[in-house]
Structure 1
Amino acid sequence: MADAPWVELREKFQAALALSRVELHKNPEKEPYKSKYHARALLEEVKALLGPAPEDEDDRPQAEDSLGTGDHTLGLPAELVEAEGPIALGAVRRAVIEFHLGVNHIDTEELSAGEEHLVKCLRLLRKYRMSQDCVSLYIQAQNNLGILWSEREEIESAQAYLESSEALYNQYMKEIGSPPLDPTEHFLSEEEKLAEQERSKRFEKVYTHNLYYLAQVYQHMEMFEKAAHYCHSTLKRQLEHNAYHPMEWAINAATLSQFYINKQCFMEARHCLSAANVIFGQTGKISTMEDRQHRRA
């Protein structure tokens, strides 16, 4: 990493995050992405201060990066390689910036550029993806690529990325299990790092989003049984973690009930409708519990 003052890096990164969260309607009408572009400029400054990534075999383009077929879809589990030492630390911080640049470009409807940054993020993290420092970021990058390919109606590529994320989450929880770092922590001081409870909450939210998008993909592929299973899991987890929009949750639960009715599973259908009615009653009475921008997690 270049000899840039650590404080300057942190401040620029935090400022970029704050600008990224500005809602579009708060920007000038003729410049709806003004805050996004400002955030992008700051992220590019941080990237420049970090310096170029060292040439590494794992950083070079690999076929699966661009085709949406990760290691897990090929049946190859990830190996644990800790992100230790200055080279690894630099790679992880660059990956964080590439991730946020990717999301930024997608938010401004520059999908090809967004894809390029997200793929760079995966390359930088590939060998560290099972580590506590990197697993959440790696899954989030794959989730976003899954969403991107889904929006392009390239459903098989979307499926590959999302299933790879699911497999990595399951492997990590089985073999390690401790709450991983949130990507933002790579630009925080030790005193500012998150508590384990908050880390766990954020990681589980990432996985819930993964299941949510897998449900959409399976529905699109007419794998209705599987789609219903993932939809049910998503709704259940959203309730458990108190992270949902009442209106959206109720609609999804009511929709799921129709699947059960068609399968003549009337008890399950009734349960879904009853739950939908209860949660719908919360609409307008409580504040939004979940950030609608799923890409943020």
Structure 2
Amino acid sequence: MANVPWAEVCEIFQAALALSRVELHKNPEKEPYKSKYSARALLEEVKALLGPAPEDEDERPEAEDGPGAGDHALGLPAEVVEPEGPVAQRAVRLAVIEFHLGVNHIDTEELSAGEEHLVKCLRLLRRYRLSHDCISLCIQAQNNLGILWSEREEIETAQAYLESSEALYNQYMKEVGSPPLDPTECFLPEEEKLTEQERSKRFEKVYTHNLYYLAQVYQHLEMFEKAAHYCHSTLKRQLEHNAYHPIEWAINAATLSQFYINKLCFMEARHCLSAANVIFGQTGKISATEDRQHRRA
């Protein structure tokens, strides 16, 4: 890394995150992506300061990273490998930058470039994907690729990425279980690292997003039983974690009730409609805890 104090590198990264969160309507009308482009420039600056990616990871053929590679779409490691040492640490930090660059390009409607960065993120994490430091970032990258391919109407490719995320979550919880590092913590000093409770909250939110996207994919594939199951799981988890937008939650619950009505499951349908009515009543009384709940994590 260039002779720049690590604290300064972290400040640049945090500034990029802040710019990324600026709502589009706050930008000039003729430059709706101005803040996104400014954030991208800062992310590229951090990437340059970190230096080139480790050769053994960066030079892997892209074909190895596509859906169908390995055991579960993108492959699962046989064992947990923690990123130890400066080379591994740099790979993880670069993966965080590649992820944010990918989301940035997608947000500015540059999908091919976004895909390239997200795939590169996964490539850098391949060896460590099941580790405490990398599992959340890996799942988020795959979730975003799932959304991207779904928007391209390549539903089976989206399904592969999203099912891989689900498999990773389940394997991690079975073999490790402790709340993993949030990707942003790679650029935080030790004293500012998140609590175990906050880490768990963020990780469970990532998994809830995964279930929501899977519900949509199964709906597209006309796998209606599965879609209903994942929709129900999503709604339940959103309530448990107090992470939902009342109007959106109520609409989804009411939509789910129609599935149960068609299956002649009237008690379940009634329960969904009653819950939708209760949650809808919260509109205007509480702040939206997830203003963009079903967008990219």
TMscore range, shorter length: over 0.9
User: What is the SS of the residue equivalent to 2:273?
Assistant: helix
Give the structure 1 partner of residue 72 of structure 2.
73
User: CA shift at 1:3, angstroms?
Assistant: 3.8
Deviations 1:176-230 (A, max 9, x none): 0000000000000000000000000000000000000000000000000000000
What are structure 2's unaligned runs of at least 5 residues?
none
Structure 1 equivalent of residue 246 of structure 2: 246
Q: What is the correspondence of 1:135-174 to structure 2 with a 5 Å cutoff?
A: 135-174=135-174
1:255 aligns with 2:255: yes
C-alpha displacement at 1:2, in angstroms? 4.0
Match of 1:289 in 2: 289
Structure 1 residue 75 displacement after superposition: 9.5
Local SS of the residue matching 2:72: helix
* Per-residue deviation, 1:69: 3.0
Q: Which amino acid aligns with 1:292?
A: R
Structure 1 distance, partners of 2:252, 2:293, is 17
Structure 2 counterpart of 1:191: 191
Task: Specify the SS of the correspondent of 1:71.
Answer: coil
Worse-superposed segment, 53-62 or 5-14: 53-62
- Cα 1:214–1:272, aligned 2, differ >3 Å: closer, same or farther? same
Deviation string for 1:242-269 (max 9, x for gaps)?
0001000000000000000100111111
Whole-Å separation in 2 of the counterparts to 1:187 and 1:152: 33
Q: Which amino acid aligns with 1:93?
A: R
Superposed CA offset, 1:58-111 (max 9, x none): 75124242x333534259542211111000000000000000000000000000
User: What does residue 9 of structure 1 align with?
Assistant: 9
Alignment partners' CA distance in 2, 1:166 and 1:49: 34
Alignment correspondent of 2:107 = 107
Map 1:45-124 onto structure 2 (within 5 A): 45-57=45-57, 59-65=59-65, 67-73=66-72, 77-78=76-77, 79-124=79-124
Tell me if structure 1 keeps the 8 A contact 2:74–2:164: no
Q: TM-score, normalised by structure 1?
A: 0.96
**Counterpart in 1 of 2:21?**
21
> How far apart are residue 289 of structure 1 and its match?
1.0
- CA–CA separation in structure 1 for the residues paired with 2:33 and 2:113: 16
8 Å contact kept, 1:257–1:269:
yes
Distance 1:70 1:290, change over 3 A: farther
In 1, the alpha carbon distance for the partners of 2:190 and 2:199 equals 14
Aligned-residue RMSD, C-alpha: 1.4
What TM-score, normalized by structure 2, do the two folds share?
0.96
The 1-side partners of 2:189 and 2:162 are apart by 32
